[in-house]
Amino acid sequence: MFEANLTESYFPATTDGSIEVVTIGDMLRTQAATYGDKNAIQELSYEGEIARSWTYAELLADSEKLARALSTRHQKGARIAVYANNIPEWVLLEMACALAGVTLVTVNPAYQKRELSFVLEQSRAEAIYFTEEFRGNPMKDIVDAACAEVEAVKSRIVMTDQEALFDGHDRGTLPSVAPGDIAQIQYTSGTTGFPKGALLHHHGLVQNGFDTMTRAGVAAGDCFIHHMPLFHTTGCAILVLGGLGVGARMLLAPIFDPEMVIRVVERERARFVLGVPTMIVALIDEVKRSGRDVSSVERMMSGGAMVAPELVRTAEAVFGSMIQIVYGQTESSPVITQTWRDDSLEDLTETIGQPLPHVEFSIRDPKSNKVVPVDEQGEICTRGYLVMTGYNDNPEATASAIDGDGWLHTGDLGRIDARGYVKITGRVKEMIIRGGENLFPAEIENAMLEHEAIAEIAVVGVPDEKWGEQVACFMRTNDASQPDAATLKAFIRERLSPQKTPAFWIYVDDWPLTGSGKIQKFKLREAFERGEFQPLAS
């Protein structure tokens, strides 16, 4: 841990460890020179068998080959979207875009046409690289329908078509790329409805991944299974860039399958495990069920939702390793704070740790923006290399998130003690965290209000033992008709991805209102917890 004796809620940037201002391509070339013949990425089949493999040298060679191909199709600074599940080509495209100076726009493979069209148009993507289907989602059909509406998309390439993917590699040349250049646009939902595209630069992504994995204790040669979605910063930044940055061996899983993951942990003697709380619970249950040997695991990490103290204790009993908790958001590349492996049980279970090295941290009064005294609640803010450049084509949202002094305002409430350990106390925003994924009520509300029977709506997060929170949808109708749960579910599924579908549908006669007529969502949540509502039968 960092030694600190704070008198106000400000933690200055530490100089622990090295900080290198490099691009993703610089990092990959350095690692290829250092670990050339060591395994970098190994593809797992759905059954958990190793399919294809790349050493660090081979990964660089194929990434440069693809980068040259990209350079024949896209100018430096162009934006291209990737709409695919976890396949090695996703990682190759991430590396190749970085080498070619092309900005990668990451897209959730569960997205439907409405969501994909918005991202393609808002990002100004000129091409989309995709897989044709995943988990029953007809992605090719969705791509065709979305691209028919978004004229800026000039090309569509199926990522499993090797000939099309690498076409032109023998003619392309690579441009000069700077650490401050935008490497990715990652979309994060906002309280006003549609997602905002966070512009993330090379230096922030490389340094943050390296520092997070270093504090997690992952070292050169260590094996870990990557089952997190690649479209999210946890998948493509912490695990891919961080894993490569420390010289580890990554086993890329196509999906999260607890039985398969634990079987591979036992066979490959994996040393590190990461997952949101719901995943950790599922892995613990699988170990208990199967009795497999997971003694190789020495480090575990979780975040993305509140991590229950009992889960930390159970993980230690089952895996022999305590869970290190991370906290952050897409806009911060993504990790801001992280616990240490040798922290006390109290700190591991009741805090989100100390700031990462090279990161400034403060707790500020949401109204005055002044730093508050130690142990006083305020808004969590951070400043430094990790902060995004801004939101794509959204100067108003950027100015709201990053103040004139460069502080990123997270929208989360917390407090920091004199030792520099942080606790989350609430949220300024109304974000719902379901199974580690951020959902925002306004986006769901806007989609549901398109239903002809719905007059007013309020979407609220309610507690759930498995998912942390579930989505509850409170509604008033235009007339006496009240569509049933199946009808409402089918309606929302045509517009939004499955994880945004409410678990509870509730009709109300009256709203709890503020003096100005706004719905008091916290009162709906409290009444739901008291059992005062009867949700529709599913």
Assess if residue 295 is contained within a domain.
no
The CATH number assigned to the domain holding 46 equals: 3.40.50.980
Measured CA angle at 245 (ends 67, 179), to 5 deg = 55
The string of DSSP letters for 42-111 reads EEEPTTS-EEEEEEHHHHHHHHHHHHHHHHTTS-TT-EEEEE--S-HHHHHHHHHHHHHTPEEEEE-TT-
pLDDT tens digits for range 86-134: 999 999 999 999 999 999 999 999 999 999 999 999 999 999 999 999 9
Q: If pLDDT is split at 50, 70 and 90, which confidence band does 413 have?
A: confident
The reply to whether 121 falls in a domain is yes
Q: Is residue 221 part of a domain?
A: no
Residue 291, domain member (yes or no): no
Residue 489 resides in a domain: yes
Mean pLDDT of the chain: 93
Residue 189 clears pLDDT 80, i.e. is over it: no
Q: d(Cα 450, Cα 444) in Å, to the nearest integer?
A: 10
pLDDT band at 501 (very low <50, low <70, confident <90, very high): very high
Q: Which of 186, 204, 222 is the last residue of a domain?
A: 204
Residue 124 lies in a domain: yes
The answer to whether position 198 is within a domain reads yes
- pLDDT-derived band at 442, boundaries 50, 70, 90: confident
Range of the domain at 496: 434-529
Segment 502-513, tens digit of pLDDT: 999 999 988 887
Q: Which residues of 484-501 are buried (b: 16+ CB within 10 A; e: fewer)?
A: ebeebbebbeebbbeebb
CATH number at residue 443: 3.30.300.30
Domain boundary among the residues 173, 204, 235 is at 204
Confidence of residue 481 (pLDDT cuts 50, 70, 90): confident
Number of domain units in the chain: 2
Residue 94 is assigned to a structural domain of this protein: yes
Domain boundary among 204, 234, 268: 204
pLDDT of amino acid 190: 43
